[in-house]
Structure 1
C-alpha cells in the first residue's frame, strides 16, 4: 500500500469528521456543551467548534440552543440517527475484536495434596464459571 500526502490528508480529514459527528452525538445525548465536553474529555470550545463545523458542512442548523441546553433540529435528528447506528456498529466491532484477542483457552492442570482439595475446589469452580473455554 502506498501512502502519500493526499491519502494522509484525507484520512486525517475523515477522522476529524468522525470526531465532529461523535461530538454532536454526545451533545445530543447529554444536552449541554459542558456535559459533552466532560464526557469526551475535551474543552467546551472544542465542542462548540465541532458543532459549528458540522453545521457549515451540512448547511443547516443541527441544534436549537436554549437557555437550558441543546435540542436537535429535524436535520440534526436525521443525521444523528445514522451516526448513532454507525457508532453502535463500530463499538460492537471493537468489542468483538477485543474479545478475540483477550479470550483465554486451553487446559489448566492443578496438582494439590488431598488435604487441601476441599479448599481449592470452590476456587476452581468459580474459575471454570468465569472461563468455561478453559479445560480443568
Structure 2
C-alpha cells in the first residue's frame, strides 16, 4: 500500500492543525468539499479512521496522530531542502518583515543576526504583530493559532515553560520544591492569561495574597522577575539568555505552549520567506534538541545525587 497523492496528506495535516474542515479549507485556499473528499479518500486508501468527527470539529485518532507526525516531519524536511536550494542558487535581496511577539524578541535577535550575516543583501524589519505583516513577511508567535484571514500557518515544536526567580529573590525566600508546595512564595502574574497554561495554573491555584504583582505584558513580567519581586513562568528558550535568573523546577509538560510560523499566503512563494522559514525551523529544532539534552543531564545529576 502506498500514498500516491500528497495533496490528501497535506489536507489531513491542515485539518489536524485547524481542527475543522472550514479552517483547513481557509488555510489551503480550497473549498470545504475538496478537503472532505481528500480526507475521506486518504482514509479509504489507508483503511483506517484518521479523525473522530465531533460537532465542534475533527480530532485525530491514534492512527491520525501517527500520520500527522510523519507528515509534519516530511513538511519540515521539504522546507529545509527548499530553503537550502534557494539560498545556494542566488543571493537574497530586498526587504523582509519579521513579526515577533514581545516574549520572543530577545531569543529571536541572535537568530536574526545570524541569518543576516548569511544574507547581507536582504534588509530585515522587525514588527510586533500579525496586523503589521504587509507584503513580504513571515512571523513567529506563541499561544493561540494566528487566525487572521489570508495567512498560511505552520506548527512548530511546542515551547516549554517553568518558574523562574532572581538570585536575590531566592536568597530571601528559598527554593521551590514543587507546584504543590509553594507556600511562602510571591508570584508575578500577567493580565493576559489567554492560551497560557502556566498563567492559568497560577490564577487558579495560587492564593491572591501570594500574587505580589500583576503585569500588563510579558516584558513587564520579565522585568519584575529580574527585580526580585517574585517568581513567574517564563519560556525556557527566553530564560536561557538571562544569567541572573534561576529555574525553580523542571518544565511541566502541561505548561507547554503552541508555537506557530506564519506568513501571508500571497508571500509564501517569495524566496526570502521560504529561506527564512526553513532557517527558523532548523534553528528551533536545534534549540529543542539542546533543551532535551540539558533536561537529560539534569535528571541524571539528580539521580546521581539521590544515590
TM-score when scaled to structure 1? Answer: 0.64
- In structure 2, distance between residues paired with 1:15 and 1:38: 24
1:78 aligns with 2:45: no
Q: What are structure 2's unaligned runs of at least 5 residues?
A: 93-115, 122-307
- Quick check: 2:3–2:45 contact (8 Å CA) kept in 1? no
- In structure 1, distance between residues paired with 2:71 and 2:23: 19
- In structure 1, distance between residues paired with 2:4 and 2:29: 16
Specify which of 15, 19, 30 is matched with residue 42 of structure 1. 30
Structure (1 or 2) with the greater helix fraction: 1
Which residue of the partner structure matches residue 52 of structure 1?
40
**Residues 81-123 of structure 1: CA deviation (Å, up to 9, x unaligned):** 111111110111111111122326xxxxxxxxxxxxxxxxxxx
Which residue of the partner structure matches residue 93 of structure 1?
81
- In structure 2, distance between residues paired with 1:66 and 1:43: 20
- In structure 1, distance between residues paired with 2:73 and 2:118: 31
**Structure of higher CA gyration radius:** 1
1:69 aligns with 2:57: yes
- Secondary structure at the aligned position of 2:5 is classed as helix
1:18 aligns with 2:6: yes
Offset at 1:131? 4.8
Offset at 1:15? 8.8
- In structure 1, distance between residues paired with 2:22 and 2:60: 16
Structure 1's 82 and 15: CA in aligned 2 closer, same or farther, altered over 3 A?
closer
Structure (1 or 2) with the greater strand fraction: 2
Aligned-residue Cα RMSD (Å) equals: 2.6
Runs of 4+ in structure 1 deviating by more than 3 angstroms, as ranges, are 128-133
**Larger RCO (alpha carbons 8 Å, 6+ apart):** 2
Which residue of the partner structure matches residue 3 of structure 1?
none
Q: What are structure 1's unaligned runs of at least 5 residues?
A: 1-13, 105-127
